[in-house]
Every structure is written in structure tokens, then in C-alpha cells.
Amino acid sequence: MYDPRLSKLAHLLVNYSLGVKKGDQLAVIGSVNAQPLMLEVYKEALVIGALPDLLPSFSETSELYFKYASDEQLQAPPSPIEMASRTSYDALLTIQAPSNVKSLSQVGPAKITLSRRAGTELSKIFWQRMSSGEMRWCGTLYPTQGLAQEAGMGYYEYADFVFKAGLLDADNPEAEWLKIHDQQERVSAEMDQRKSFRIVSEDTDLRFQAAGRHWVNCDGKLNFPDGEVFTGPIEDTVEGHIRFSFPGIYGGKEIEDIRLTFERGKVVKAEAAKGQELLHALLDTDAGSRYVGEIAVGTNPGITKFSKNMLFDEKIGGTVHLALGRSIPMSFGKNESAIHWDMLCDMRQGGEIFADGELIYKAGKFLFA
């Protein structure tokens, strides 16, 4: 059944998120499950006068790849098509639409690590092009039965959840996102003036420095939906401990009740009630995987439920998240790694953030916004 909100979403993605102009070359990558959205985006781009290419894939290929590929194949450089999509286009849209989010749940962490490492250099080029403005990228999601089941919802309930998170029920969604931009810009500007930060919550007391780093305003341009401000902490300044309120999700696997201890920026102790072997494998991916690449505050009030998809979960208003591994260059972070793995901490029950010794955030709300 066609959902009229798809045309609104396609319009926003092409015009607002990616800012596609006449003559731009646009690549759209997504599972064939996302065909309705991919075609709407294709049409929208053509109307503008852009040059869109659709690059559909099958959800099952990842499972087959990790089942049958040798270590040599897992370590092979990215394919020419993958290289071109990150290095040759003016804009790139990637669409999550898995039919089965558990398809890689039986794949050992060593195989995934080999594959991730093979893409490190391409990832570096991609983020350099993004940071310089040479390319625009947005990641989004198309609702599927698999995603709905993982979130504990029926398909139509989940579709409503997805579209409402993107403010697509509003008469003018773009105007609503521009309001969010303005609100978060004030937060970003205030945070950029501060140097030292402390996050305090249940079983959590984490400190870091961010002088000279930038708090990025995530307003629907990099992800859709969106709603967060993030920075890359100075790599060797993260100190203390943190307990994550929600399971860490990686490759369809859940790691429960994660607790990390940091000294001089590095994870020196890591515990989990479930999935500890995977946790330690991820931490040992490379030299940068025990360091923090991103610390962020979720701000989207329309996302209130944990859905086991970090595109949505990290935006939950009243949460903070921390990513181990690669920094996002636009935050001026410098950590390099094959992974960028987000984990989520709920702050709504009295959690606090201090900046330069001043309380600036309490129980899920900024006090100066």
C-alpha cells in the first residue's frame, strides 16, 4: 500500500537533506525492499534536473558473503562500484531496509572485523569529502517487517513511528526541521564555548575535554530523521566510567549491560552481562577502537522508544551516546578506526551534564536552550 508520506520524505531528502541541484550526480543505495522510496527519490531528483543513479542490492547478499567468502576475499579492497559511490558523486543517499536484521547474528566477530578493516581507507576518503563539502551524504531508513519485528511493533505501527520521527505528518516538514536547526544551533554555539565536560548518571561519571573541537548540529542533513548535537572529545582526555542503559547492537547481535572504564582516553576495563566476547573483539579491532570518537546528546522529542536501530535510538530526546572508534572529521575529532560503534545512556531520570563546572543539562533537558 502506497503511503503519501513517502513523497514528502523523498522531497525532504533530495531538497533539504542533500540540497541536490540541477546537474548534480546523485547515487541512491538501498535494498530492493526500499524500492518505493528509491523511485520517489529518483523522480524528485529528475524533476530538479539532477542525474540520479539507483544502486539497489539484496538483503541476503551480506549473509552469503560472510558465509562463503574466504579471509582473502574479506580483506579485499572495496569494489569499483562501492569506490565510485563514495568518490565520484556529488551526493549520496543510503537507505536501510533489511528484511531480516538478524541475518549476520551467527557471523563471528573476527570475520566482521576483517571486512571492516578492508574499508578503512575508503571510509577516510568518504569523510574527507564530506567535511570539505565536496560531497553531501544522508542516511535514512525505509520501514520493513524485519525492522518492525525487531522494534516490537506491528508493521503499520512501526511505519507511523518512522514517519512521525521525521515530522512527516506536519503540513510543512521542512519548516519544522528549520526550527530544529535554529534551536540546536544555539545549543551547539553554547557548547563550543565550553572546554571541560562531565556526564553523571546511574553508575556513570565520565569526564572529557573538548576545547577546540566542534559540537555539530545534526538537523536532518546527515541522517533522517535526526536530532542530536555531537563532538569528538580530545582523544586522551576521557576519564571515568559509564554504564549503558540500553543494549549495544552490532551486526544484529545484542551486548547487554555494558560497563566501560576509561583512563587517559582508553578503555581499560569492559564488562557486559551478555555478549562480552563480542565486546572485547570490537575493542580489539585496531589501535583506535578503544578510544572515543564521538560523544553526543539526543534531542528528538518525537523518538521516545528504543527500537534497536541506532539511526533512531541515538536521537531519543533525553539520552547521551558514545561511539567507540572513528571520529567524524567535522567535529575536529582525530581518532581513526575501522569501527564507529554507538552505545546509548538514558539521562531522563535525573542524569546531569556539567560544562566547565556549571550544570547545563538535567533529566534530559538543556538548561540554556
pLDDT in tens, 282-292: 999 999 999 99
Measured distance CA(133)–CA(52) in Å, rounded: 19
Domain count of the fold of the chain: 2
Please tell me whether residues 130 and 199 are part of one structural domain.
no
Please tell me whether residues 204 and 76 are part of one structural domain.
no
Measured distance CA(249)–CA(337) in Å, rounded: 18
> 83 lies in a domain?
yes
Please tell me whether residues 99 and 221 are part of one structural domain.
no
> 171 lies in a domain?
no
> 84 lies in a domain?
yes
Domain boundary among 165, 193, 227: 165
Cis ω before 225 (30° cut-off from 0): yes
Please tell me whether residues 13 and 144 are part of one structural domain.
yes
Please tell me whether residues 28 and 133 are part of one structural domain.
yes
Read off the pLDDT of each residue in 81-91 and give the average, rounded to a whole number. 94
Phi, psi dihedral angles at 112 (to 5 degrees) = -65, -40
> 238 lies in a domain?
yes
pLDDT at 369: 59
Please tell me whether residues 69 and 211 are part of one structural domain.
no
Nine-digit cell string for 236: 586522551
Please tell me whether residues 210 and 91 are part of one structural domain.
no
pTM of the full structure:
0.94
Indicate the angle between helix axes 109-118 and 120-132, nearest 10 degrees: 50
Strand partners, 25: 51
- Has residue 1 got a pLDDT over 80? no
Total length of the chain: 369
Please tell me whether residues 60 and 137 are part of one structural domain.
yes
Please tell me whether residues 70 and 104 are part of one structural domain.
yes
Please tell me whether residues 153 and 182 are part of one structural domain.
no
pLDDT tens-digit readout, 116-160: 888 888 988 999 999 899 999 999 999 999 999 999 999 999 999
pLDDT at 109: 81
- CA distances to 93, 231, 291 from 131, rounded to whole Å, are 16, 14, 21
Q: Please, what is the end-to-end C-alpha distance for the chain in angstroms? A: 41
Domain residue limits at 222: 176-366
Please tell me whether residues 127 and 235 are part of one structural domain.
no
Measured distance CA(239)–CA(50) in Å, rounded: 48
Measured distance CA(92)–CA(20) in Å, rounded: 10
**Minimal CA–CA distance to 300: which of 221, 215, 228?**
228
Please tell me whether residues 159 and 58 are part of one structural domain.
yes
Domain boundary among 143, 165, 187: 165
Domain boundary among 128, 146, 165: 165
SS3 296: strand
